[in-house]
Amino acid sequence: MKNLESMEQFEALKNNGKHIFLFTADWCPDCRVIEPVLPEIESKYQEYAFISVDRDEFIDLCIQQDVFGIPSFIAYDNGKELGRFVSKNRKTQEEIENFIEGLA
């Protein structure tokens, strides 16, 4: 999974192609729990590019996107928000996959 490097990159990615942004942080225990399953999820849903967004580095983006809990996922297709799985609750692989399945 690639890491977001700038706000400009976020806008470019959001508006071009299918992307799922994972809002996360190093200190977040619930984020660490899902880390081992993320490569499997990425390989299962290759139509999306997955981008990791460090909540602490991009706090303004989190506010702009109404992300107040992590881990959270927001999916875009060429600038259109397809859906969001945003909460402060721990997420399971099944819940993440159900979210992605529901985007289609």
Question: Strand pairing of 72-77 and 80-85?
Answer: antiparallel
28 an active-site residue?
yes
**With contact defined as beta carbons under 8 Å apart, do 93 and 42 qualify?**
no
Name the active-site residue from 20, 22, 28, 86.
28
User: Cβ-count burial of 49 within 10 angstroms (0-12 exposed, 13-18 middle, 19+ buried)?
Assistant: middle
Name the active-site residue from 4, 20, 22, 31.
31
62 an active-site residue?
no
Joined tokens for residue 4: 């977001």
Q: Which residues are catalytic?
A: 28, 31
